Amino acid sequence: MYLTKKQYERPVIQRVNVGLMNKYGTRTEYEPVTHIDGNAVADLITAYGSPVFVLSEKTIRATFRDANRAFKTRYPKVQFAWSYKTNYISAVCNVFHQEGSWAEVVSGFEYQKAINNGVPGANIIFNGPDKSEAELIFAINNGSLIHIDHLDELYLIKEIEPQLQKRARVAIRVNMDTGVYPAWDRFGFNYEGGQAQDAINKIMLNTNMDLVGLHCHIGTFMLTPSAYAVAATKMSELALNVKKKFKKTLEYIDMGGGFASRNTLKGSYIQGADAAPSFDQYAEAISTAILNAGFTEADLPLLILETGRALIDEAGFLLGSVISNKRLADGRRATIMNFGVNILFTSFWYDHKITPAQPFGQHNESTVLYGPLCMNIDVIRENISLPPLKKNDQVVVHTVGAYNMTQWMQFIALRPAVVLIDMNQKPHVIRNKETPASIQKEEEMPAYLKEFKI
């Protein structure tokens, strides 16, 4: 008898509505994904727990090489700098450093991380509005590139001159109108209003600062490559102006990041995988603009790119399990997962692709996916079509490599392990699962609060 038993699936029934799609109308999320780089999802969960983040080194390197090829075949001098804030687990950073990336950091903490990873000071770009005096002194003496965000920072560098062993190698961050909304005018100096030129003038008159480049970062998740063409043109104009006015050739133009990944933004009708421009499209827009700007061959600046999201997002997976199913008061199906917005921060702005990790039959159900937190905002997907999942069934959340492993919160639950699957399909833990001790060790208990009676 046992041998003839059939695969069980939860019974489901739903109304046929006009406009309600059957399996022919639903997304590809229906296809199960049972393995990641040759490792069974079930095995990974057994070994490292559930939930667990998994990164594919193969995908990271392949994506990086694709981006590198797209730019290097179009422009003679290209340098990538790994955006630490996107994912600064050291093993991940070092994969990028092995591929030749510099480090791009936006805080003293990230700067320290880059140093600890062994990145030479000259290959660290220090961005962001918050650089303390001590951090600036350290980074300047270390030969790093300082991207000045505001006038107070510019003056601070002037003031700390006595403590500097060398001239500061600086660039300014420029913001501008590229025809996209919102314009990121809170960072850097405005181009159209003349602030940028003004800041350049101030630096050029200063003896302890050496203006070596220009930096911009026009936005995030930019789906229109043409905006980069506008930005690259304006940056080139600025650089050519410096040449004209001060007879000074700038070493580089840093176009920042902001390339979109294959995630689907909430409210987007088009699937992210179809909407995201390729590296070739971004590279074409940027390279063409700089090459046509009027630089002599000798003066062509090094093109620096700080792409983060588009290089790592697709290499990341979150594996998790079903805690429970319930039916909401209005009849909708709800499924509670063992991961929530605490570790999947990006579910606030993406409709993440989520697939079951075991094979299923033909039917599916519209479901709300909740996380495990005791918080009403803990919603992973407001509406997703999935096969009938039961307790302990496993799922794979796709395209989670960017920002989750840095923006995750230690809130209510501890953060899970992160596993990197190497080029030979061997998994390595690159960040341990947190324990109560990892949180407790930073706390202090005043003596008078140690005792209590209930």
Tokens coding 105:
């950091």
Cβ neighbours around 71 below 10 Å, total: 23
As measured in angstroms, the least distance from the Cβ of 221 to other proteins is 15
The residue (of 8 and 448) whose beta carbon lies closer to other proteins is 8
Cα–Cα distance measured from residue 275 to residue 225, given in angstroms and rounded to the nearest whole number: 12
Q: Which amino acid is at 324?
A: S
Residue 13 as a binder of other proteins (CB under 8 A): the answer is yes
Selected from 162, 205, 247, 274, the binder of other proteins by CB under 8 A is 274
Residue 8 as a binder of other proteins (CB under 8 A): the answer is yes
As measured in angstroms, the least distance from the Cβ of 391 to other proteins is 7
Stretch that binds other proteins, among 66-74, 112-120, 387-395, 437-445 (CB under 8 A): 387-395
As measured in angstroms, the least distance from the Cβ of 432 to other proteins is 33
As measured in angstroms, the least distance from the Cβ of 50 to other proteins is 19
Identify the helix (H) or strand (E) that includes residue 115: helix 108-116
As measured in angstroms, the least distance from the Cβ of 201 to other proteins is 31
CA 137 to chain centre: 28
Show the binding pattern over residues 172-201: x = contacts other proteins (CB under 8 A), - = does not.
---------xx-------------------
The answer to whether 373 and 391 have CB atoms below 8 angstroms apart is no
Residue 3 as a binder of other proteins (CB under 8 A): the answer is no
Q: Which amino acid is at 196?
A: A
The residue (of 252 and 350) whose beta carbon lies closer to other proteins is 350
Stretch that binds other proteins, among 89-97, 134-142, 263-271, 284-292 (CB under 8 A): 263-271
As measured in angstroms, the least distance from the Cβ of 338 to other proteins is 18
Residue 450 as a binder of other proteins (CB under 8 A): the answer is no
Cα–Cα distance measured from residue 367 to residue 384, given in angstroms and rounded to the nearest whole number: 5
Selected from 249, 288, 361, 413, the binder of other proteins by CB under 8 A is 361
Q: Which amino acid is at 357?
A: A
Nearest of 228, 286, 253 to residue 74 by alpha carbon: 286
The residue (of 1 and 449) whose beta carbon lies closer to other proteins is 1
Cα–Cα distance measured from residue 410 to residue 179, given in angstroms and rounded to the nearest whole number: 38
The residue (of 79 and 233) whose beta carbon lies closer to other proteins is 233
Stretch that binds other proteins, among 23-31, 89-97, 109-117, 148-156 (CB under 8 A): 23-31
φ, ψ at 204 (rounded to 5°): -65, -25
Selected from 248, 363, 431, 433, the binder of other proteins by CB under 8 A is 363
The answer to whether 403 and 50 have CB atoms below 8 angstroms apart is no
Residue 257 as a binder of other proteins (CB under 8 A): the answer is no
Cα–Cα distance measured from residue 420 to residue 343, given in angstroms and rounded to the nearest whole number: 17
Cα 344 to Cα 51, 227, 309, distances in angstroms: 11, 29, 15
Cβ neighbours around 98 below 10 Å, total: 11
Cα 443 to Cα 213, 215, 408, distances in angstroms: 43, 40, 20
The answer to whether 107 and 132 have CB atoms below 8 angstroms apart is no
The answer to whether 387 and 46 have CB atoms below 8 angstroms apart is no
Stretch that binds other proteins, among 49-57, 242-250, 262-270, 303-311 (CB under 8 A): 262-270
Instruction: Give the binding-site size for other proteins (rule: CB under 8 A).
Output: 40
The residue (of 146 and 369) whose beta carbon lies closer to other proteins is 369
Contact positions toward other proteins, by CB under 8 A?
Answer: 1, 5-16, 18-19, 21-28, 181-182, 267, 269-271, 273-274, 325, 327, 331, 361-363, 388, 390-391
